[in-house]
C-alpha cells in the first residue's frame, strides 16, 4: 500500500499523509530500488540470499553449509568457510584502486587532524599486529582495549582480529569497576589504553583508571599505552609500555600475514548490561558477522565510493564495532571519526565537521539530536550541510519531534532518515528501512530482508495490530551473537527461554496496519540513558559498594534529553545521616566505579524498599509511584 503510493501516488496524496516518501533521485541510485521485490525473493530462500551476499566478500575457503540449525539456539553460519574479517576490511582493497582511498578521516577535539588511506591503515595494523605477537598474544587470546576515540582504537581492534586474537573493547566512558569486571571475566593478559582522552576541553584520565582497575585483578600482564594528551602518567616498570616506543622497534614490522580463521571463530567479545550485576559478554564471529554487517551497511546506507560517511557514536559500543569499524571498511568506505563532544567549543561543532569534510551520510542517536536541538537551528543553519544525502538514527526510539527537527534542519527535507533498530546481541541492523522505503517518524519501519519479527503477549500469542507486546525475532540471522562468553546457559536463559525457539529482544513494541514496528522500550532491568545501556543491578551494586549504603534500588524515568534518567532509592547503614552532601558523594562514587553516564540523576534516602515476598525489589512499583501512575498488581508485595 505505502509502496504503491510511493510509486504511483499523486503529490497531494503524499503531502496529506504523515508518511515521508523518498525523492526520485534517492530511489534512482539506491542499491535496493524495489524493496518489495528484494524482500519477497529473500524470504523464499533466506540462506540463498545470505550466500549470495557472502559471495561478494573474500574467503580463503568457501563454506559447505550456509546455515546449520542442528543445535538450536546455537546456530552456525557459513560452516566450513575460512576467512578473516581483516581480509575483507583491508587486505582485499590493497589489490584495487581503494588502496589509496581514505579509510578514515580523523578529527581531534583540539583541532588536530589525521587521515589514513587503506594502504596506511594496513601498515599500521600490520605493525601493531606484530607488536601484539611479540607481546605473546596468540589466536584465541582475549585482549582488552580501553581507549579514547583515537584512530589507534580501530587499529588495535583490527590488529587483534588480524592475528586471531579476540578483542574486548571497554567503552572509554566507563570507569574502574566496570573496567575491572570486564578484564576479570575475559581474563585478558594484554590491555591497550591511552594516557588520557580529550573530552569537552578536559582530559579524562584513562591511565589512572586503568591503574586503579588493575589493583583489583592479577589477569593483566602487559599494558600498551598510546600517548594522546601528553599529561604525565604512572608507567609501571615491566608492565606498561608506550605504543610509540613499541611501534618503533624492529618487532613492529609492516609485514604480517592475516590469520586464516574459521567462519565460526570468535572475533570479539562485547560486554553489555543485563538483568544481573555480572556483566555478560556477547560473542561475535568472523564469518556471519562479516556478511551481516557488510550487507546491512551497503543496503541501508546505500554506500558508494564517493561517499563520506560519519557515524558519531563511539567505537566502544556495538554501533562503533559494526558501523564505524568493520562494515564501512568491508565496503571500502571513507569514514569520519570525531574525537570529542558535539558542543565543544560551540554547539555547531558537528555541523562544521559535516561542512568541512563533505559528509554525505550522518548516523547518530536521538539523545544527541535532542541535545543539539536545544541550541536552536541557527547553529546548523550557518553551516553548509548540502553534502548530506542520508541520515541515520539508533539507540532508542526517536520521538517524532526530534525526527522532524533532524529531517528539516539537518537533512533540509532531502535526506531520508534510516531509523535502525538493533542490539549488541544482533550485531547488525534488524528492523530498518532502506532509502526508498516510505518513512513514518518514530518507526524503524520493517525487518531487514529475511528477518521475521513478531509482537507477542505473555502466552506467546501475537497481539492485534497497534497493541503493545514483546518484540521477538523468529528467524536466525548471520550476525547474531553465538553465545554469552563462558556461559551458554545464560545465553539460552536470557534470549531463548521466554518463548522457546524465538529470540527474545527485551523490548516492547507495536506493529501497525502497514506492518511497521514501533519500538516502545526495554521491558527488563535495562535502562537506556542517552542511548547507553546500563543495568539497574550494576548501578545498585556500585551504590552498595559504598560504606554508607545498606541497600539500593535503581529505576529509569523519562528524561527530556537523555530519554531515560537513573533514579535511585537508598537505605543507609546505621550511623549515617541522609544529607545532601552524602547524596552527592554517592553520585560521585557511582561515577568513579561505573562511569559518568551511570551517575544517578536523583538519590532518595528511604527507610525501606518495596519487595516481593521472595525478597525481590519491585522496581515496577517504584517506577509507578515516582510517576504517580496506578500501582498495578501488588499482590506479591510483602507486608
When binding is defined by CB under 6 A, the residue of 283, 372, 455, 519 that contacts ligand WT7 is: 519
- Minimum gap (Å) between residue 630 Cβ and ligand WT7: 24
CB-CB contact of 89 with 329 (8 Å): yes
**Which residues fall within 8 angstroms of residue 490, CB to CB, at 6 or more apart?**
280, 484
The interface region with ligand WT7, picked from 132-140, 191-199, 403-411, 504-512 by CB under 6 A, is 504-512
CB-CB contact of 273 with 460 (8 Å): no
- Minimum gap (Å) between residue 352 Cβ and ligand WT7: 25
Task: Encode 473-494 in three state secondary structure.
Answer: ECCCCCCCCCCECCCHHHHHHH
Which of 63/421 has CB closer to ligand WT7? 421
Query: At residue 70, what are phi and psi to the nearest 5 degrees?
Result: -75, -20
Query: At residue 320, what are phi and psi to the nearest 5 degrees?
Result: -70, -40
Which of 84/505 has CB closer to ligand WT7? 505
- Minimum gap (Å) between residue 299 Cβ and ligand WT7: 16
d(CA 443, CA 469): 15
- Minimum gap (Å) between residue 526 Cβ and ligand WT7: 7
The interface region with ligand WT7, picked from 350-358, 388-396, 402-410, 541-549 by CB under 6 A, is 388-396
Q: How are the residues of the chain apportioned to helix, strand and coil, as percentages rounded to the nearest 5?
A: 35, 25, 45
Count of residues that interact with ligand WT7, criterion CB under 6 A: 22
361 three-state secondary structure: strand
Other C-beta atoms lying within 10 Å of the C-beta of residue 614: 7
Which of 517/605 has CB closer to ligand WT7? 517
Question: Which residues from 533-592 bind ligand WT7, rule CB under 6 A?
Answer: 533
421 touches ligand WT7 (CB under 6 A): yes
Which of 254/558 has CB closer to ligand WT7? 558
When binding is defined by CB under 6 A, the residue of 177, 355, 507, 540 that contacts ligand WT7 is: 507
d(CA 387, CA 301): 15
When binding is defined by CB under 6 A, the residue of 522, 559, 620, 623 that contacts ligand WT7 is: 522
Between the alpha carbon of residue 231 and those of residues 174, 228, 237, 238, the distances in Å are: 20, 8, 18, 21
DSSP string, 483-546: -BTT-HHHHHHHHHTTTTTSEEEEEEEEE-TTS-EEEEEE-SSEEEETTEEEEHHHHHHHHHTS
Which of 164/438 has CB closer to ligand WT7? 438
- Minimum gap (Å) between residue 379 Cβ and ligand WT7: 25
d(CA 634, CA 613): 11
272 touches ligand WT7 (CB under 6 A): yes
Which of 46/366 has CB closer to ligand WT7? 366
CB-CB contact of 165 with 142 (8 Å): yes
- Minimum gap (Å) between residue 275 Cβ and ligand WT7: 13
The interface region with ligand WT7, picked from 105-113, 151-159, 165-173, 499-507 by CB under 6 A, is 499-507
d(CA 481, CA 428): 10
Query: At residue 361, what are phi and psi to the nearest 5 degrees?
Result: -130, 125
The interface region with ligand WT7, picked from 61-69, 294-302, 392-400, 570-578 by CB under 6 A, is 392-400
The interface region with ligand WT7, picked from 387-395, 456-464, 489-497, 620-628 by CB under 6 A, is 387-395
CB-CB contact of 207 with 233 (8 Å): yes
- Minimum gap (Å) between residue 366 Cβ and ligand WT7: 8
**Which of 371, 159, 347, 154 has its CA nearest to residue 247?**
159
b/e map of 212-233 (b: 16 or more CB within 10 Å)?
Answer: bbbeebebbebbbbbbbbeeeb
- Minimum gap (Å) between residue 323 Cβ and ligand WT7: 8
In the chain, count H helices and then E strands.
22, 29
Question: Which residues from 40-99 bind ligand WT7, rule CB under 6 A?
Answer: none
Which of 177/396 has CB closer to ligand WT7? 396
- Per-residue x/- marks for ligand WT7, 320-339, CB under 6 A? --------------------
- Minimum gap (Å) between residue 318 Cβ and ligand WT7: 5
Sole residue written with cell 546481541: 425
Question: Which residues from 422-451 bind ligand WT7, rule CB under 6 A?
Answer: 422-424, 444
Which of 81/397 has CB closer to ligand WT7? 397
The interface region with ligand WT7, picked from 95-103, 390-398, 557-565, 574-582 by CB under 6 A, is 390-398
When binding is defined by CB under 6 A, the residue of 42, 153, 183, 318 that contacts ligand WT7 is: 318
- Find the Cα–Cα–Cα–Cα dihedral 316, 317, 320, 325, rounded to 10°: 60
The interface region with ligand WT7, picked from 224-232, 414-422, 457-465, 554-562 by CB under 6 A, is 414-422
- Minimum gap (Å) between residue 444 Cβ and ligand WT7: 5
- Minimum gap (Å) between residue 502 Cβ and ligand WT7: 15
With residue 357 as reference, give the H or E element that holds it. helix 349-357
Specify which residues 105 forms β-bridges with.
115, 336
Which of 397/478 has CB closer to ligand WT7? 397
- Minimum gap (Å) between residue 324 Cβ and ligand WT7: 11
d(CA 571, CA 574): 9
- Minimum gap (Å) between residue 471 Cβ and ligand WT7: 8
d(CA 52, CA 48): 6
When binding is defined by CB under 6 A, the residue of 392, 447, 506, 556 that contacts ligand WT7 is: 506
The interface region with ligand WT7, picked from 73-81, 249-257, 345-353, 500-508 by CB under 6 A, is 500-508
What one-character DSSP code corresponds to residue 340? Answer: S
Residue closest to ligand WT7 when measured from CB atoms:
424
Binding site for ligand WT7 (CB under 6 A): 272, 318-319, 393-397, 419-424, 444, 505-507, 519, 522, 528, 533
Amino acid at each position: 500500500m505505502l509502496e504503491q503510493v510511493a510509486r504511483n501516488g499523486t503529490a497531494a496524496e503524499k503531502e496529506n499523509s504523515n508518511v515521508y516518501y523518498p525523492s526520485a533521485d534517492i530511489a534512482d541510485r539506491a542499491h535496493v530500488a524495489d524493496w518489495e521485490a528484494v524482500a519477497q525473493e529473500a524470504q523464499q530462500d533466506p540462506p540463498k540470499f545470505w550466500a549470495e551476499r557472502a559471495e561478494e566478500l573474500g574467503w580463503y575457503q568457501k563454506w559447505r553449509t550456509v546455515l546449520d540449525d542442528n543445535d538450536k539456539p546455537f546456530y552456525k553460519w557459513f560452516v566450513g568457510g575460512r576467512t578473516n574479517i581483516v581480509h575483507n576490511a583491508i587486505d582485499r582493497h590493497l589489490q584495487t584502486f581503494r588502496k589509496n582511498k581514505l579509510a578514515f578521516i580523523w578529527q581531534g577535539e583540539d583541532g588536530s587532524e589525521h587521515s589514513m588511506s587503506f594502504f596506511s591503515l594496513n601498515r599500521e595494523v600490520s605493525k601493531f599486529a606484530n607488536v601484539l605477537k611479540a607481546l605473546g598474544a596468540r589466536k584465541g587470546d582475549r585482549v582488552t582495549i580501553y581507549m579514547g576515540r583515537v584512530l589507534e582504537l580501530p587499529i588495535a581492534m583490527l590488529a587483534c582480529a588480524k592475528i586471531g586474537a579476540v578483542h574486548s573493547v571497554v567503552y572509554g566512558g566507563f570507569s574502574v569497576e566496570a573496567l575491572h569486571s570486564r578484564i576479570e571475566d575475559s581474563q585478558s593478559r594484554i590491555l591497550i589504553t591511552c594516557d588520557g582522552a580529550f573530552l569537552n576541553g578536559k582530559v579524562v584520565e584513562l591511565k589512572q583508571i586503568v591503574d586503579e582497575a588493575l589493583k583489583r585483578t592479577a589477569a593483566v600482564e602487559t599494558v600498551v599505552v598510546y600517548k594522546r594528551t601528553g599529561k604525565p602518567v604512572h608507567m609501571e616498570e615491566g608492565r606498561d609500555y608506550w605504543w610509540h616506543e613499541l611501534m618503533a622497534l624492529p618487532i613492529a614490522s609492516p609485514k604480517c600475514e592475516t590469520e586464516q580463521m574459521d567462519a565460526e571463530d570468535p572475533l570479539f567479545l562485547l560486554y553489555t548490561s543485563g538483568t544481573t550485576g555480572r556483566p555478560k559478554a556477547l560473542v561475535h564471529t568472523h564469518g556471519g558477522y562479516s556478511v551481516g554487517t557488510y550487507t546491512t551497511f551497503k543496503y541501508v546506507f546505500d554506500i558508494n565510493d564517493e561517499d563520506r560517511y560519519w557515524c558519531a557514536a563511539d567505537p566502544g559500543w556495538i554501533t562503533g564495532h559494526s558501523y564505524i569499524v568493520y562494515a564501512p571498511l568491508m565496503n571500502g568506505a571513507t569514514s569520519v571519526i570525531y574525537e570529542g563532544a558535539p558542543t565543544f567549543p560551540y554547539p555547531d561543532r558537528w555541523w562544521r565537521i559535516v561542512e568541512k569534510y563533505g559528509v554525505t551520510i550522518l548516523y547518530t542517536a536521538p539523545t544527541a539530536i535532542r541535545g543539539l536541538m536545544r541550541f536552536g537551528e541557527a547553529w546548523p543553519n550557518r553551516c553548509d550541510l548540502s553534502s548530506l544525502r542520508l541520515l541515520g538514527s539508533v539507540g532508542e526510539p526517536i520521538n517524532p519531534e526530534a525526527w522532524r527537527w533532524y529531517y528539516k534542519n539537518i537533512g533540509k527535507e532531502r535526506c531520508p532518515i534510516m531509523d535502525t533498530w538493533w542490539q549488541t546481541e544482533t550485531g547488525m541492523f534488524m528492523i530498518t528501512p532502506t532509502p526508498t522505503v516510505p518513512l513514518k517518524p518514530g518507526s524503524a519501519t520493517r525487518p531487514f530482508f529475511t528477518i521475521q519479527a513478531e509482537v507477542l503477549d505473555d502466552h506467546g500469542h501475537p497481539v492485534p495490530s497497534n497493541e503493545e507486546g514483546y518484540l521477538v525475532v523468529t528467524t536466525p540471522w548471520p550476525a547474531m551473537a553465538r553465545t554469552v562468553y563462558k556461559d551458554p546457559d545464560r545465553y539460552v536463559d536470557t534470549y531463548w527461554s521466554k518463548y522457546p525457539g524465538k529470540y527474545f529482544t527485551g523490548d516492547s513494541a507495536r506493529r501497525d496496519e502497514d506492518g511497521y514496528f514501533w519500538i516502545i522500550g526495554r521491558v527488563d532491568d535495562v535502562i537506556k540513558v542517552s542511548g547507553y545501556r546500563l543495568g539497574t543491578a550494576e548501578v545498585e551494586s556500585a551504590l552498595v559498594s559504598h560504606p554508607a549504603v545498606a541497600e539500593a534500588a535503581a529505576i529509569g524515568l523519562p528524561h527530556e534529553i537523555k530519554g531515560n534518567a537513573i533514579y535511585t532509592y537508598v537505605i543507609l547503614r546505621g550511623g549515617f545521616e541522609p544529607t545532601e552532601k552524602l547524596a552527592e558523594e554517592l553520585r560521585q562514587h557511582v561515577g568513579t566505579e561505573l562511569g559518568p553516564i551511570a551517575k544517578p540523576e536523583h538519590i532518595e534516602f528511604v527507610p525501606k524498599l518495596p519487595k516481593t515476598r521472595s525478597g525481590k525489589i519491585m522496581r515496577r512499583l517504584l517506577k509507578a509511584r515516582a510517576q504517580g501512575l496506578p500501582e498495578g498488581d501488588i499482590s506479591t508485595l510483602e507486608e
